[in-house]
Amino acid sequence: MLRKKVLAGALSFGVALAVPWWSITTETTPAPASSAAGAAASDHEGTTHDDSPSADAAAPGGEEAHDWQAMDREMAKRDKSFPAKTEGKGAQPLEPKVLADGTKQFTLTAKSVKWEVEPGKVVDAMSYNGAVPGPTLHVDVGDKVEVVLKNELRESTVIHWHGIPIENAMDGVANITQDPVPPGKSFTYKIKAERASVGWYHSHHNGTEQVTNGLWGAFLIGDMPLPDKTKIAQEIPIELQDAGAIGLTLNGKSFPATEPVRVRKGDSVLIHYFNAGTMAHPMHLHGLDQLVVAKDGFPLDSPYKADTVLVAPGERYSVLVKADRPGKWAFHCHIFPHSEGKTGMFGMFTEMIVS
Ligand SMILES: [Cu+2]
């Protein structure tokens, strides 16, 4: 309500442009709860308050203002609830069944699931084996691999192996390389793990819905060669989504239910970003350098440092982070409408905690 009034006021009288930038800054920036901030805001006492998230910031002439203290309280409550517990965890390693001839066999069952994206937000998702993202498959170079897709969805599906060298008939694109797998049926994909890869798998049937609703996962082959033969303490997938039932998430969860990356000081961690979503996300890590070592699983001849790595749909970037500064480092998509708003952090935000 207040927002509409404010906007109407600004449009009718053209006052907005007359408001000096510093007064806008004062009112839009959540101030620290200090006495100075309290004094600065004291001229707004007694004005109409609107605690709803739609209460807007700058009012023409500073006559009307929202309740910044309520805003701070709401933000703090949400931000400090991190890491919040939710049901279900995606992107977990899946052990293969080893067949008599040494073939590593995985079974991925496509099925509907109620998926808790953040506390209290449960969506109707599609999943492999009941989790979003689906299990992480990791095999060695030279392995013979079979993946049995069982379709328990109410519509047909297929699996495409993105970034994995493969025979055409196994490429998993409905009506291009195979018939769609109908509900109740299975299909076995045969893959020879030819070379080290940071690949992923996803539906290629009604992809707009099936992928954004949860049908994707990571598929790693071999080990990434690292500069100076760096020993890593952890290898972590960070799988991005921004649409469908799953929405703005890291590994299938929205802040405050995203999982922090916990690292011991001095350790190195290898992170693989995967973008299963519909737009590019600049992944920004505070305080620690990201050394980009591979693009789409291909090791770079000249790794480079960045603090923000833009990951477009379908892409993978592998970054090496040396945890040389202790602290709780914000780690988020730098498109703020994907990660931070007037109710606090949300969506694609987590922390790298170095201790
Ligand atoms: Cu983003």
Same structural domain for residues 212 and 256? Answer: no
CA of 348 to the centre of ligand 1 (A): 7
Same structural domain for residues 144 and 72? Answer: no
Whole domain around residue 137: which residue ranges?
97-221
CA of 42 to the centre of ligand 1 (A): 36
Same structural domain for residues 213 and 235? Answer: no
Please indicate, yes or no, if residue 300 is contained in any of the structural domains.
Answer: yes
CA of 181 to the centre of ligand 1 (A): 33
Neighbours of ion ligand 1 (CB under 5 A): 281, 333, 335, 338
SS3 per-residue string spanning the chain: CHHHHHHHHHHHHCCHHHCCHHHHHHHHCCCCCCHHHHHHCHHHCCCCCCCCCCCCCCCHHHCCCCCHHHHHHHHHHHHCCCCCCCCCCCCCECCCEECCCCCEEEEEEEEEEEEEEECCEEEEEEEECCECCCCEEEECCCCEEEEEEEECCCCCECCEEECCCCCHHHCCCECCCECCECCCCEEEEEEECCCCEEEEEECCCCHHHHCCCCCEEEEEECCCCCHHHCCCCEEEEEEEEEECCCEEEECCECECCCCCEEECCCCEEEEEEEECCCCCEEEEECCCCEEEEEECCEEEEEEEEECEEEECCCCEEEEEEECCCCEEEEEEECCHHHCEECCEECECEEEEEEC
CA of 349 to the centre of ligand 1 (A): 9
Domain count across the chain? 3
Q: Check residue 32 and give its pLDDT.
A: 38
pTM for this prediction: 0.82
Same structural domain for residues 233 and 294? Answer: yes
Same structural domain for residues 203 and 271? Answer: no
CA of 13 to the centre of ligand 1 (A): 35
Please indicate, yes or no, if residue 88 is contained in any of the structural domains.
Answer: no
Please indicate, yes or no, if residue 84 is contained in any of the structural domains.
Answer: no
CA of 250 to the centre of ligand 1 (A): 10
Q: Low-confidence residues of the chain, pLDDT below 50?
A: 1-61
CA of 245 to the centre of ligand 1 (A): 16
**Residue whose tokens read 């007359």:** 18
Distances (CA, A) of 332 to 147, 193, 259: 33, 33, 12
CA of 242 to the centre of ligand 1 (A): 7
CA of 54 to the centre of ligand 1 (A): 22
Please indicate, yes or no, if residue 154 is contained in any of the structural domains.
Answer: yes
CA of 342 to the centre of ligand 1 (A): 17
Last residue of a domain, one of 177, 196, 221: 221
Please indicate, yes or no, if residue 59 is contained in any of the structural domains.
Answer: yes
CA of 241 to the centre of ligand 1 (A): 9
Please indicate, yes or no, if residue 89 is contained in any of the structural domains.
Answer: no
Same structural domain for residues 131 and 216? Answer: yes
CATH number of the domain to which 108 belongs: 2.60.40.420
Q: Check residue 43 and give its pLDDT.
A: 37
Same structural domain for residues 6 and 55? Answer: yes
Please indicate, yes or no, if residue 107 is contained in any of the structural domains.
Answer: yes
Same structural domain for residues 269 and 346? Answer: yes
Same structural domain for residues 130 and 16? Answer: no
Same structural domain for residues 214 and 233? Answer: no
